[in-house]
Homo-oligomer: A and B are copies of this chain.
Amino acid sequence: MPLTGHPIVARLTRVMKLSAVDVKSLEAIFERDLSVRKREELIVQGSEFRNLCFVKDGFAIRYRLLRSGKRQILKVILPGDVIGFPVSFFDRSTYAVVAVTELTYAVCSFDSYIRLCYEQPQFGLVLSWLAAQEAATYAEHIVNLGRRTPIERLAHLLLEIHARLLEVERADETSFNLPFSQEVIADVLGLSVPHLNRVIQQLRAEQLITSNSRLIELTDLAGLRKLAQYQPMDLAPIPVPKHRE
Q: A117-B125, A236-B91 given as contacts; is B145 within 8 A of A142 (CB)?
A: yes
CB A200 to nearest CB in B, in angstroms, measures 18
Cα(A112)–Cα(B84), bound, Å:
29
- Among A71, A91, A117, the one with the most B-chain Cβ atoms within 10 Å of its Cβ is A117
| Contact stretch, chosen from A3-11, A62-70, A176-184, A202-210 | A62-70
Is the Cβ of B139 less than 8 Å from the Cβ of A89? Answer: no
| A185 CB, nearest partner CB in chain B, Å | 12
- Inter-chain CA distance A113–B119, complex, in Å, is 18
Which residues of chain B are within 8 angstroms of A67 by Cβ–Cβ distance?
Answer: 229
Contact: A118 with B190, CB < 8 Å? no
Name the prevailing secondary structure of the A interface residues. helix
B132 touches A86 (CB 8 A): yes
Task: Write the chain B residue with the least CB distance to A119.
Answer: B121
Q: What is the size category of the interface that chain A forms with chain B?
A: 35 or more
Q: Does A100 interact with chain B (Cβ within 8 Å)?
A: no
Partner of A90, one of B90, B124, B187, B235: B235
Q: Are A190 and B145 in contact (CB under 8 A)?
A: yes
Are B115 and A229 in touch, CB under 8 angstroms? no
A141 at the interface (CB under 8 A from B): yes
Q: Is the CB of B139 within 8 A of A71?
A: no
- B-contacting residues, A130-158, CB 8 Å: 131-136, 138-139, 141-143, 145-148
Are A131 and B121 CB-contacts (below 8 A) given A72-B142, A239-B110?
Answer: no
Q: Which residue of B lies closest to A132 (CB)?
A: B86
**Can you list, as one digit per residue, whether each of A49-79 has a CB less than 8 Å from chain B (1) or not (0)?**
0000000000000001011101110100000
Please state if A118 and B115 are interface contacts (CB–CB under 8 Å).
Answer: no
Are the CB atoms of A190 and B147 closer together than 8 Å?
Answer: yes
Please tell me if A92 contacts chain B, counting CB pairs below 8 Å.
Answer: yes
**Whole-angstrom distance from the CB of A63 to the nearest CB of chain B?**
9
10 contacts between A and B (CB under 8 A): A68-B147, A74-B142, A88-B236, A90-B132, A90-B233, A91-B236, A110-B239, A114-B241, A115-B241, A124-B125
User: Which residues of A approach B to under 8 Å, CB–CB?
Assistant: 64, 66-68, 70-72, 74, 85-86, 88-92, 94-95, 110-111, 114-115, 117-119, 121-122, 124-125, 127-129, 131-136, 138-139, 141-143, 145-148, 187, 189-190, 229, 231, 233-236, 238-239, 241, 244
